[in-house]
Chain A
Amino acid sequence: MKALASLFATVGRSTLAMCAAIGQVAIFCSITLSHVIRPPFYIREFLSALLTIGYFSLPVVGLTTLFTGGALALQIYSGGSRFNAEAVVPQIIAIGIVRELGPVLTGLMVAGRVSASIAAEVGTMKVTEQIDALVTLSVNPMKYLAVPRVLAATVALPMLAAVGNVIGIMGGYLVGVARLDFSAAVYLRNSWNFLEAADIYSGLVKAAVFGFIVALMGCYHGMSSDRGASGVGRATTNAVVSSSILILASNYLLTELFF
C-alpha cells in the first residue's frame, strides 16, 4: 500500500513538474514574442547572432547533409533494386532531403551547436550577475539577449536548410554519378523536375520553426540556470535535449499539417 502511494506520489510530482515547465516555457515564449514588436531593437546584437548562428553553422550543416545525401543514395539504390526501381534515386533523395532530412538535420545540428552555446553564454551571464547588471543599466535582458537570438535563429535556419538541401542533393548526385553510374544530366534533371514549390516551402517553414525552438530553448534554460558551474552545465544539457525533442515533435505536427 505504501509502495503504491509512493508510486502515485512520484508520478504526480513528475506530472506537476512537467506542467510547471510547460507553463514557464509558454510564459517565456509569450514575453519574448511581446518584445519582438516593441522598441528598442538591438540591430547590432541581431546581426552578430545571425553571423554566429547562421554563417558559422554552415560547415557542420554542409558536412551533415552531404554525407546523409550520399548514404541515402546508396540505401535507396539498394532498396529500389529489389523491385527494379533504381531509377527513382534522384527523385526520392530530392524529396526526402528537401521535405524532411534537410530541415530536421539542420535543426538538430544547430540545436547541438547553437542551443548549447546560447544556454552556456546566457547561463554564465546569469550566475556572474551580468543579467542583473543589464537591468541596472536600463536594458531589458529579454530584449537584449533573447529577442536578437530568437529572431536571428528563425531567419538563419531556413537559409541554412536551403544550403543544406542543395548540398544534400549534391551528396546524392556525387554518389549516384560516381558510384552508381547515373548520367549526371539525367540525375540533375530528374531531381529538379520532380520537386514542387510546396516541397521547398514546407521544408523552409519547418526550418524557421526549428530555429525559433533552438534559440528559445537556449535562452530559456540559460536564464533559468542555477548558480555555479554545475547549474550552467545542466542548463546546457537541458537546452540541447529539450530543443532536440521539440524539433522532432514539431516536425511530426508540421508534417501532418502540410500532408
Chain B
Amino acid sequence: MIELRDVRKAFGKNNVLRGVDVKVARGESLVIIGGSGTGKSVMLKCVLGLVRPDSGTILLDGKDIRLAKGDEYLARFGMLFQNAALFDSLNVWQNVAFRLLRGPSKRPKRKAREIALEKLRRVGLGPETADLYPSELSGGMRKRVGLARAIATEPEIIFFDEPTTGLDPIMAGVINDLIREIVKEMGATAITITHDMASVRAIADMVAMLHAGVIKWIGPVREMDTAPDPFLRQFIEGNAEGPIKALR
C-alpha cells in the first residue's frame, strides 16, 4: 500500500535519509525503531508531504504521491503527534472534530460533536472532558484526545509519532493497547515510530530498524528477538557498546 524507494533527504550538510526502501501492506502495522535523530520523523513527514524528499519515490497504492491531489491524499491519513499537537485555542471536542467542522468532510455542528463524543468514548474519555481545553488535560489525556482526532474521520492510514513518550509505564501500556485495538477494528494501515520496545511488541506486525538514514533490518515482530543483526540487537538490548556509537 505504501512504498518508499530509495528516498533521500538532507538538511544542509546533514544527510538524514540516505536511501530508505520500505514497503507496508494494507492493514499491516509497521513499527519503525531507531535512535534519536536517525530520520524516523522525517520519513513520516516525507510520506505526508510535510517534507519534500531530495530524491526517490513514494508510492501509495502504486501511484507516485507527487501526482496526488493534496486534500484528497491527506484525507486518507490520520496522525497522532508526539506531544499530541492539540490546538490550544480549541476545546477538546472541537480538536477531535476539527476535520468534521471544515473542508470536504464538513458536517453540521451537532453531528460533528456527536462523532467527537463517540471517538472520545472509544479512547476512554467521558463527555465531561469534551468542553475542557488542552491546557487542562494530563499527558495521558492529551494523547487520548490526539488519538481520537487521528481516527475521527476513520482514515485508511494512521501514523503514530512516539505515542508513549512522556507517559508512565501503565499509561503507556493503556495507549499501546488502545492503538492496537483501534487499528485492528478499523482495519487501518499503521506506521508507528518509537524508542519504546514495549510499544513495539504491543503494536507491531512488522518492525523496521532505521539507522544512519537507511533501513538496517526489517522483519516480522516475532523474528525480532532472534534476528542476528548487530544494530538491532544493540538497540533492543539497550547496550551502550556495539556498532551504534553513543556519545558519553
Contact = CB atoms under 8 A, between A and B. Distances in A.
Interface of A: 40, 42, 124-125, 128-130, 132-133, 135-139
Contact of B85 (A40, A129, A138, A139): A129
A136 B82 contact: no
**In this complex, which of A40, A124, A132 has the most chain B Cβ atoms within 10 angstroms of its Cβ?**
A132
Given A136-B74, A136-B77, A138-B75, A40 B50 contact: no
B159 to A, nearest CB: 8
Interface in B72-91: 74-75, 77-79, 81-83, 85-88
B99 interface: yes
Contact of B50 (A42, A124, A128, A135): A135
Contact of B102 (A40, A125, A129, A136): A40
A219 to B, nearest CB: 15
A40 B99 CA distance: 14
B199 to A, nearest CB: 19
B125 interface: no
Given A135-B50, A135-B74, A136-B74, A130 B99 contact: no
6 contacts: A40-B103, A125-B87, A129-B82, A130-B87, A135-B49, A137-B74
Nearest to B146: A133
**In this complex, which of B50, B83, B85 has the most chain A Cβ atoms within 10 angstroms of its Cβ?**
B85
Contact of B83 (A42, A128, A135, A139): A128
A125 B88 CA distance: 9
A96 B32 CA distance: 66
Contacts of A132: 45, 50, 81, 85
B110 to A, nearest CB: 17
Interface in B96-137: 98-99, 102-104
Q: Is the interface of B mostly helix, strand, loop or mixed?
A: mixed
A7 B103 CA distance: 54
Nearest to A42: B102
B185 interface: no
B22 interface: no
Contacts of B82: 129
Q: How large is the interface on B (under 10, 10 to 19, 20 to 34, 35 or more residues)?
A: 20 to 34
Closest 5 CB pairs of A and B: A133-B85, A129-B85, A136-B79, A138-B74, A129-B81
A130 B81 CA distance: 9
Contacts of B102: 40, 42, 139
A244 B236 CA distance: 54
A139 B103 contact: yes
B103 A129 contact: no
B85 A130 contact: yes
B48 interface: yes
A125 B102 CA distance: 19
Nearest to A132: B50
A135 B87 CA distance: 13
Contacts of B45: 132
Contact of A129 (B74, B75, B78, B83): B83
A133 B79 contact: yes
A133 B103 contact: no
Contacts of B77: 136
A118 to B, nearest CB: 13
Given A40-B103, A132-B81, A137 B98 contact: yes
A182 to B, nearest CB: 49
Interface in B48-77: 48-50, 70-71, 74-75, 77
B146 to A, nearest CB: 9
Contacts of A139: 98, 102-103
B104 A138 contact: yes
A138 B103 contact: yes
A137 B77 CA distance: 8
Contacts of A124: 88
Contacts of B50: 132, 135-136
Given A135-B74, A136-B74, 4 more contacts: A129-B81, A133-B87, A135-B48, A136-B79
Contacts of B88: 124-125, 130
Contacts of A138: 70-71, 74-75, 99, 103-104
Contacts of B70: 138
A65 to B, nearest CB: 30
A114 B151 CA distance: 35
Contacts of A42: 102
A114 to B, nearest CB: 16
